[in-house]
């Protein structure tokens, strides 16, 4: 064991504590105890003899580091990952001696301190710095250009002040999300920056056009801030309709981007023109702002790879572009709470990605949480989970007309929300073909007729809302329809519906209807009898008056009556006598 150089037992669910004997392995260069269930306290004695140690990985355990503030470790690490171990609350001073670190993992290590000045000097040669999910506070240096890091993760802390404007020249990933940062710099210099995450801060002001210089951006998230006015003016229309940036030729900002989120701000502008170059964009979220105007006709042609489009809670108007069907990968469309009018294009049923049932194979490989309105609630999903959601939400607009019959072709739909519009007609009979539906909301319309019996085929349904329409008849039965969430509110506002779960019994309803029908018939029959009586009296008086005026007619009339009476009497007597024999 004394000659052991590598001890790697990660991912074995080992329990217990780390023995002190580990510190006697003087030739050890790598110690990997990650992803186990180890607990207890580690002191300097656990590391006293590890003179050659270069790689230390204790991540995802319940270990606690407890060393004196003046401890100088005997090793010079190149790789250290202590994720989910407890090192706080104060920043460990022994880290300042680890100047050769290339990878530093301090994620979720219970640090509650200001980042010391020596941190930026000691780890200036590190390529990866991860101190996210702690309680680090204070401000960041405005200039980080002296550092070599390509990845800096400081998200989910309590950092304040301004976002730095000078970053390491080769930085590719910067995560400062979920902090208390207050402003963006007038200029950001990071030519290689591919991922910039600043969501869920307190950033105010406008988005500077200097952002347009970040032409390598693939993922930009500025959501959940207090940004106002418009977005960066990267594009400018000229007389010959070419697109330029200032005096330069064609701008490439956005041309490499596959994810953009500006949601939950106070941005007020038309649909961003710089997205004309976003030919690789797969995820676009502009929700919860004040964007206005119509959806541009170029949207489908310029962003052919778009999979997720969230524009809810803005002020977009006009009609739903028919050429959205060109977005062959679009499986999540949310246009809710805008001013969109017109009818639902039947061509939406040709959205290819909504006609596919997805498996558990997301196309995205990064982390993020995004709110989704489904099943009557606001939920947060990771962006990977978005790949599994096939969503069509057109609720709370001014859409008119009927639901296209062809909607049953979108068999991949998991959420369909058309509520709070001005739709009429009947619910399509083949809606039961949407067997993947988990949430269906058709409330607040003028739908009439019966609920299609095919509803019983919606076996995945957990949330159904048909309230406040003019639906009638018997509510379909089915195992899944008996256990829906909020069942008491599903059918409210449809007085002509009957059956479970309503208190109105269908047989009683039918009797009432029959009684109502009989009363109506009796009403008409009484008029029929009245007419017959009046006709009889009129005819009688015509004959009577005629006989008074012509005596010869009266004599002839009574002679005919007497003759008929005599003949009838004789026939009756003879027939009766014959029957009695």
Do 37 and 14 contact (CB within 8 A), yes or no? yes
- Is there a domain that residue 522 lies in? yes
Using CA atoms, how far apart are residues 252 and 558, in angstroms rounded to an integer? 114
Helix H or strand E encompassing 430: none
Q: Is residue 67 part of a domain?
A: no
Complete DSSP assignment for 228-294: EE------EE-TT--EEBTTBS---TTTT-SEEE--SSEE-SBSPGGGGG-TT--EEE--SS--EEE
Average pLDDT over residues 411-426: 97
Position 267 in a domain: no
The strand pairing partners of 334, in sequence order, are 310, 393
pLDDT at 387 over 70: no
**Average pLDDT of the segment spanning 413-422:** 97
Residue 578 belongs to some domain of the structure: yes
Integer CA distances (angstroms), 119 to 242, 287, 437, in order = 48, 38, 52
Give the domain extent around 558: 550-581
Report if residue 46 sits inside a domain. no
Per residue in 181-194, pLDDT tens?
Answer: 999 998 888 999 99
Q: Are residues 511 and 533 in the same domain?
A: yes
Q: Is the pLDDT of residue 244 over 90?
A: no
Predicted pLDDT at 240: 41
pLDDT (tens digit per residue) in 125-157: 999 999 999 999 999 999 999 999 999 999 999
Let me know if residue 528 belongs to a domain.
Answer: yes
pTM across the whole model:
0.81
**DSSP code of 79?**
E
Identify the weakest region by mean pLDDT among 48-57, 248-257, 350-359, 414-423.
248-257
Express each pLDDT in 280-331 by its tens digit: 999 999 999 999 999 999 999 999 999 999 999 999 999 999 999 999 999 9
Same domain, 561 and 581: yes
- Please, which pLDDT band fits residue 105 given cuts at 50, 70 and 90? very high
Cα separations in angstroms, 123 against 31, 129, 146, 166:
21, 8, 10, 17
- pLDDT at residue 5 greater than cutoff 90: yes
Q: pLDDT band at 88, cuts 50/70/90? A: confident
Query: Tell me, what's the pLDDT at 239?
Result: 39
- The answer on pLDDT for 369 being more than 60 is no
Q: Write the pLDDT tens digit of every residue in 452-509.
A: 999 999 999 999 999 999 999 999 988 888 888 888 889 999 999 999 888 888 875 4
Is residue 524 assigned to a domain?
yes
What would the mean pLDDT of 216-229 be, rounded to a whole number?
A: 95
Both tokens assigned to 497 = 């519906």
- How far apart CA 392 and CA 354 sit, in angstroms, is 9
Distance CA 420, CA 418 (A): 7
What tokens does 563 get? 């003759």
Query: What percentage of the chain has pLDDT greater than the value 70?
Result: 79
In a domain, 517, yes or no: yes
Number of domains making up the chain: 2
Q: What's the pLDDT band for 230 if we cut at 50, 70, 90?
A: confident
Burial code of 249-280, b = ≥16 C-beta within 10 A, e = fewer? eebebbbbbbbbbbbbbebebebbbbbbbbbb
Confidence of residue 94 (pLDDT cuts 50, 70, 90): very high
The C-alpha atoms of residue 380 and residue 360 are separated, in whole angstroms, by 18
CA atoms within 13 A on the CB side of 109: 26
């Amino acid at each position: 064991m004394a000659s052991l150089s590598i001890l790697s037992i990660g991912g074995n669910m080992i329990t217990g504590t780390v023995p002190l004997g580990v510190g006697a392995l003087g030739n050890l260069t790598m110690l990997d105890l990650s992803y186990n269930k180890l607990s207890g306290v580690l002191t300097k004695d656990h590391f006293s003899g590890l003179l050659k140690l270069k790689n230390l990985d204790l991540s995802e355990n319940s270990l606690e580091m407890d060393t004196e503030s003046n401890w100088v470790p005997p090793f010079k690490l190149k790789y250290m990952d202590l994720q989910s171990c407890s090192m706080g609350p104060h920043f460990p001073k022994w880290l300042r001696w680890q100047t050769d670190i290339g990878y530093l993992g301090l994620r979720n290590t219970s640090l509650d301190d200001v980042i010391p000045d020596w941190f930026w000097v000691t780890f200036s040669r590190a390529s990866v710095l991860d101190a996210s999910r702690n309680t680090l506070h204070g401000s960041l240096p405005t200039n980080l250009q002296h550092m070599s890091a390509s990845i800096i993760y400081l998200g989910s802390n309590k950092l304040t002040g301004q976002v730095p404007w000078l970053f390491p020249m080769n930085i590719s990933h910067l995560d400062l999300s979920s902090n208390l940062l207050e402003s963006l710099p007038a200029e950001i210099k990071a030519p290689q920056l591919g991922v910039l995450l600043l969501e869920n801060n307190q950033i105010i002001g406008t988005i500077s056009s200097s952002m347009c210089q970040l032409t390598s951006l693939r993922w930009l998230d500025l959501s959940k801030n207090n940004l106002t006015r418009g977005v960066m003016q990267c594009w400018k229309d000229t007389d010959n309709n070419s697109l330029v940036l200032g005096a330069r030729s064609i701008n490439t900002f956005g041309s490499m981007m596959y994810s953009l989120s500006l949601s939950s701000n106070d941005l007020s502008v038309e649909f961003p023109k710089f997205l004309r170059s976003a030919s690789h964009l797969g995820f676009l979220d502009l929700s919860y702002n004040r964007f206005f105007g119509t959806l541009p006709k170029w949207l489908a042609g310029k962003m052919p790879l778009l999979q997720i489009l969230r524009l809810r809670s803005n002020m977009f108007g006009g009609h739903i572009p028919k050429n959205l069907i060109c977005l062959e990968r679009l499986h999540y469309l949310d246009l809710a709470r805008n001013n969109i009018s017109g009818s639902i294009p039947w061509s939406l049923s040709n959205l290819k990605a909504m006609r596919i049932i997805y498996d558990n194979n997301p196309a995205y490989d990064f982390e993020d949480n995004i709110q989704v309105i489904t099943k009557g609630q606001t939920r947060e999903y990771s962006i990977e989970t978005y790949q599994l959601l096939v969503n069509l939400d057109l609720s709370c607009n001014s859409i008119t007309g009927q639901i296209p019959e062809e909607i049953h072709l979108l068999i991949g739909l998991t959420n369909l929300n058309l509520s709070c519009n001005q739709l009429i007609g009947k619910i399509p009979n083949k809606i039961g073909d949407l067997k993947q539906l988990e949430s269906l909301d058709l409330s607040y319309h003028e739908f009439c007729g019966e609920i299609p019996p095919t509803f019983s085929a919606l076996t995945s349904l957990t949330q159904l809302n048909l309230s406040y329409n003019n639906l009638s008849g018997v509510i379909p039965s089915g195992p899944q329809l008996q256990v829906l969430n909020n069942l008491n509110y599903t059918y409210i506002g449809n007085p002509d519906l009957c059956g479970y779960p309503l208190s109105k019994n269908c047989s009683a309803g039918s009797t009432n209807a029959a009684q109502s029908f009989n009363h109506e018939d009796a009403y008409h029959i009484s008029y029929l009898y009245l007419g017959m009586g009046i006709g009889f009296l009129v005819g009688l008086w015509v004959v009577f008056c005629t006989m008074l005026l012509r005596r010869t007619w009266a004599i002839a009339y009574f002679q005919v009556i007497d003759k008929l009476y005599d003949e009838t009497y004789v026939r009756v007597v003879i027939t009766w006598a014959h029957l009695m024999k």
